[in-house]
Every structure is written in C-alpha cells, then in structure tokens.
Structure 1
C-alpha cells in the first residue's frame, strides 16, 4: 500500500515517525489531495525550502488550519507570516527590542519564578508536570518579559490556556480552532492593546517599552503591529516552551540512561538539544509555492500549499546516524527545530533559557522520577507535538 500522510490524522499524531520514515524513502514530495498539500520530508528539501523565501512564501501563514491559513495570517503570526521587504522591516525593528542582552538579563528572575512554582510540587512529591508546572511557567516568563503587571498575570495565563486547549475527544480530526480559543485571542488582543496604550505614556524596562522605542530612522512599529508581536508570543513563546518541557520529561522517562545522565550527571543542555531534535514541539511549517517547483521528479504547482516536516527532517538518517535513538552525545547542530534562514525563530535563545532554568532547578532537587503511564495524555494537533498530562512521582535527592 502506498504511503499516505495527513497532519489531521489522529493515529499519525500519536506517533508520526514511522510514517515520516516511509515518506522520506517512498515519497519525498508527497501529494495529499484531500488536504490539498504537498509534503516535504527529507532534511535537505525541508532546509532548502525554509531558506528559499522567494519560491516558498510565508504570506499565507505557518499553519494550515482554516483559522490560520490565508492572506490575513499575519493577524496571528505577525512578521513571521510576511515576506521581504515587509518581513525585513518588521523583524529588524522587533530585533532591536528583543535582544540577547534582554533575554540573558531575565535569567535570575526566571529562576525565582521557576522555584516559586516548583517548591510546593517538589515538597508534595507528586504532581502533573504539564498542568502544575509546564503550562504555568512559560506563561509567567512571557508576562515578565513583556511587562504584564503582576495583578493581570493570572488572567493572561487563563487566556493563554484557553488558546492552547485541545479537546479530549480525538475521534474526529481537529482542523480548526474552537470558539473558546478564538474568543480568548480576541480578549487578549484587547488587553494587549490597552497595555500598549498605557505603556506609551509610562516606559519600563520591558519588551513592550522596547518595542515602542524601536526605531530605524523615523520608522517605528505601530500600536497594531506591537499587539501582533505580543499575540505571536503566546504561540511562539508559551505553547512551544510548554510542550518542549513535557517532551524533555517524557523522553527522559522512556530512556533511563539518558535520564540518569540528565538528572545526576549534569547533562541538562544535551537533554534539551536532543529532545529538540528527537521530538520537537513544532512538527511542521507551511509555505506557499510562488512558482512551479520541480523536486524529485514531481512538480509542485504555483500556489501549492507546502508542508515542510521539521520532525521528519530531524530524523533523516542522511544527516543523523541512528536517528531514532535518543543520544545525549549526538551532534544536534543541523536540527531544524527552530527553523532556518530569515525566519529562524527569534525567540530560540529564550526558549532554550526557559528549558535550561526549569530543568536545572528540577535536577537540583530530583534524583529520579517515574510517570503514571495510564495518566499520560497527548495533545492532538496538526502542527504541535506534546502532552496535556504527565502525572509524575519523584524521588527527592538525599
């Protein structure tokens, strides 16, 4: 039987990697008529497409769900759903505010936030890593970065959770955002618009003030553009970090030698980087072909929807030896988990910092842990991979 791949297939979402392996070997340019997709699965092809913004455009967005896809995609994805020169301008201005110095300066505060969330969990000895920590910590990190007042952070966290909520019933493919998520996005837009207007008259040492001050000559971001960047951070800065933490935790559970090296051997950075390669929270990025593109004897037509599978590229044996093994000694330098080229994730340093702070704090207190496999629950998403529940019992350090 010929290979078939749909990002909306819940059976595939449970474990896409065997299907990815078949795609790479049997159909490196796979046509899915039902979902109207051209799917790229080999590392070389995914990397080339992501680097080639002239032939593979981002203007229709990064995700193919109807709520996200189309000419209005920048409402959700800001400058990430733009091509040059518009993208060049926006990313340049945002980069002036979202600096390496600003990210690095957050580390002491991030440790305080992580310790505050972890202390009661570690004392109890049992907790759900996802709902009790991973769903809370990244949201508070983004609020700290942006400059959301402490009094508003619980509500911002609730709205973020509503946007990221996945229905428990996966009998039917989930192809669009539920109404509650769309309503939460609308409320968050209103909140950030008000906070932007307030900060315009009262600058602070935060990202929002930095975005208001970012300038290239006389060119500045408009309030609407700033709100768009802040909404982007909900998905790019909260959800992916939340899922990364869970994927690290689950990978360690299913690989005892790596777990011991990570928790007791100080291999936290390697734990994060190999998880990013082995089981990235973002599995795919969408593009639109701007002209006919011939690849492996197949012609992707102008206007074709192209799905570049990051999760498959990261398991390509042409690049990574024994790719289905979880190996903390592996060179992960060619992993595409944060994209590549002009759309390489601007927040990759922050995402890595969040994971390093959180897992280092946990490793300092935890000698080992076990999961209740019966309680483990995955998300079901066309684009994201991770968990909604990871019930955990820890063994504290002596």
Structure 2
C-alpha cells in the first residue's frame, strides 16, 4: 500500500497480518473511524475511542459474539456463553464463574504449573535446537487447562489440537461459523458426564455443583449445555492465546538480547516484561461488537445493526497513550492495558495467563539464558482471531 492510496485494513489479509502496525498507525491518523466495504464492518483504532466502546456495553453489545464472522453470521448464541452475553444475564453468569475461578484457586496452581514447566524442559536436556512453540509454549497451557477441567493427561493433547483447529482458517479466508458453530462442545460431553458420578477437586466439578439465581429468578445449577459451552470456550481461548503469548516472549527476548539478559540477572522483571509483551504484541488484535443504536465518531454515524471491530493492538501502540509506543521496553511502566479487554467483559482468565507466562519464563530463562531464532523459518498461525507463531525454531547456546 503506497502512502498516496487510501488506507486499507482487512483482518483476513495475510500480507497485512504479517506486519499490521504501519496500517494501524495510518488508521489512527487518517481514518480513526474506518469502514471496510468489502466485508461491511466498521473499525476503531484509537485508544480513547476503544476504551469508551469497551465500557459502553449497551451500545456495543457482545450478545451477537466477539468475533466479526460470528456477528455477521447472525447465528443463535448458546445460553451460558459468558463472552457472548450482555448484562443482566452476563453479570449473573460471571458472578457464578468468578466464585469457582478465584484468584486464590489460580495462585494455588503455581507449584503444578512449575512442575509441568520443569518436566517439559527436562525433555530438552542436551538438545540445542528445537521448536519453542511445539516443545514448550503449546505444552504448558494444555496441561494447565487439562488439570483445571479434570481431563486426563492422556487426552489433553488431542483436546488441545481439536480446540486449536476450530480457530484455524485458510489464509485470507474468514472463519466458517455456520460449519463450525461456537466452540467445540462435543469434545467435553463424556468428561462432564463422568464427573457427575466422580466428583473431584477441579473446575468442572465446581461448575456442576455451583448454585445461582438465574435471570428468571430461579435458583438452580448450570445446565449440561451451559457447562459444555463454557468449558469449550475456556479450552480454546486458554490454550491458544497463552501459547501465543509465550511465543511472542520467546521471539522478542531473542530479538532484544540485552533486555533478555536483564531478566536473567533480575527475574523480578519478568512480570513487567510480560505486561510489555501483552502491549507490544497482543495475541488477539481486535474485539468485535454489535452496534445497537446509531452512534457518531469523528463526524460520521455508525448505524445501528453494524458490526464494529475494536483494534486493541492499535490502541496498544497509540502515541496519545504511550510514549515511544513502537519501542519494546521490559522496564516500561505499563498500566491501563486493554489486551484482556475492559469493563464488563474483562477476561476472567487474565490472572491465569499471567501466572502461566511468569512461571514458564522463569523456568525457561533459568535453563536457557541465551537463544537465537531462525528468523527465516518462522510461520504465523493462520487465524483471523489470534496472531502468533505457529512455529518458532530456536538454537540455545
């Protein structure tokens, strides 16, 4: 795209996805409210506009889904799909799930997460070349989600691969929502049915037992279908996004070895390095919403019934919010980050993702303080919803 041509952004264009940040910069400057006539959606790219939209759930509704393809398909959303509901139903479900997905429960997982990391790294003893994604980044989230849901280790890899495949698209193509549906609930039916008669100390058992008062003022437990939908979304999102976060940490710390050396010398910097990575290279670049009423941005009206994309990755590089935003800096003061959303739909799994990333990098840096990336052999995942490395070949030294 030459500077003379009107700015064009297409979330399904793989050439743009390879390096979208110059396009985002032009959007913020030239078209802060952007309309894509090919796919019929609007987009916001500035931090302030996106911040306001994330908080205004009445105008920017999640009830039709958080992904453009789902909104455009106008399909029926299964009940109990937390990320695809608005208040008051959303608040009831979120309050219930917050009770079983507490900060205390998350923190209690640290010893087990560390054990998974050590075990994965032990397998790499004496190996000087390997794929960081396949051998480490994809391994840890799979084990943690499997443990949380009570899925046997022998089945965890298959569950992860099927959940990840549900997000894949052909390069340049949209997700086929009508064919795939929402999530992949058939993966978990047998586990839920078995857990009914074999309760354990896991999230699935807690969800089966938890009582709440629903939107119809009826006190009940979650239905089987509600649990199926939730755990399928949790497995897909928790596996894919956390693995890609680890992948970005692996590549960025190789690209900036002097900052990696700082983390090796002072591991207390690792949490802040994770926050900077979440800002600099978020795994999810955009969140979609359905517009319920006419609303104006920058002198242009977005009509009710429109789909709109909130480009979080652009907000994360907005110079009105961040100083020198295109510079990666593990010592940057990072606050008001919107990578996990904001407002009613702030990600319930944010603390778990941060914990996994912290422990995984603590253990990796202890074992491998230096590594190089084969930059010519990198490949991005083919999905319109998550951006990250499919493969990350490295050489440790």
Query: Which bracket does the TM-score occupy, shorter chain normalised?
Result: over 0.9
Query: Against the structure 1 CA distance between its residues 335 and 368, is the aligned structure 2 distance closer, same or farther, given a 3 Å change threshold?
Result: same
- TM (norm. structure 1) is 0.92
TM-superposed CA distance for 1:155, in Å, is: 2.7
Higher alpha-carbon deviation: 219-228 or 189-198: 189-198
C-alpha contact 2:142 2:157 (8 A) present in aligned 1:
no
Residue 166 of structure 2 aligns to a residue in which SS?
Answer: helix
Q: 1:302 to 1:165 in 2, by over 3 A?
A: closer
**Is 1:40 equivalent to 2:36 in the alignment?**
no
| Matching of residue 88 in structure 1 with residue 91 in structure 2 | yes
Is there any run of 5+ residues in structure 2 with no aligned partner, and where?
214-218
The corresponding residue for 2:115 is 112
- The CA RMSD over aligned residues, in Å, is 2.1
Q: Distance in 2 between matches of 1:36 and 1:278?
A: 28
TM-score when normalising by structure 2: 0.92
Residue of structure 2 equivalent to 1:100: 103
Structure 1 position 70, deviation (Å): 2.7
**Structure 1's 265 and 68: CA in aligned 2 closer, same or farther, altered over 3 A?**
farther
Stretches of 4+ aligned residues off by more than 6 angstroms: none
Gaps spanning 5+ residues in structure 1: where?
A: none
**Residue 175 in 1 paired to residue 174 in 2?**
yes
Worse-matched range after superposition: 299-308 or 156-165: 156-165
1:156 aligned to 154, 159, 162, which one? 159
Deviations 1:258-300 (A, max 9, x none): 2222233322112211000001001000001110001110100
Cα distance change, pair 112–8 in 1 and its aligned pair in 2 (3 A): same
* 1:249 match: 250
Q: Is 1:271 aligned to residue 267 of structure 2?
A: no
Q: 1:189-247 deviations in whole A, cap 9, x for unaligned? A: 23412211221222111000111122225232111101111011123211000100001
Indicate conservation of the 8 Å contact 2:242/2:357, yes or no. Answer: yes
Alignment partner, residue 230 of structure 1:
231
Give the whole-Å Cα distance in 2 for the aligned partners of 1:177 and 1:270.
Answer: 37
Q: What is the rounded CA distance, in whole Å, between the counterparts of 2:22 and 2:114 in structure 1?
A: 38
Select which of 207, 210, 215 maps to 2:206: 210
> Is 1:330 matched up with 2:362?
no
Alignment partners' CA distance in 2, 1:100 and 1:220: 22
Moved more, 119-128 or 62-71: 62-71
Does 1:6 pair with 2:10? yes
Change (3 A) 1:335 1:141: same
Alpha-carbon deviations, 1:127-164, whole Å to 9, x = none?
10111221222111100111112332233233234335
Contact 1:59 1:71 in 2 (8 A): no
Q: 56, 63, 87: which one pairs with 2:60?
A: 56
User: What is the total number of aligned residue pairs between the two structures?
Assistant: 387
Distance in 1 (CA, whole Å) between partners of 2:285 and 2:182 is: 24
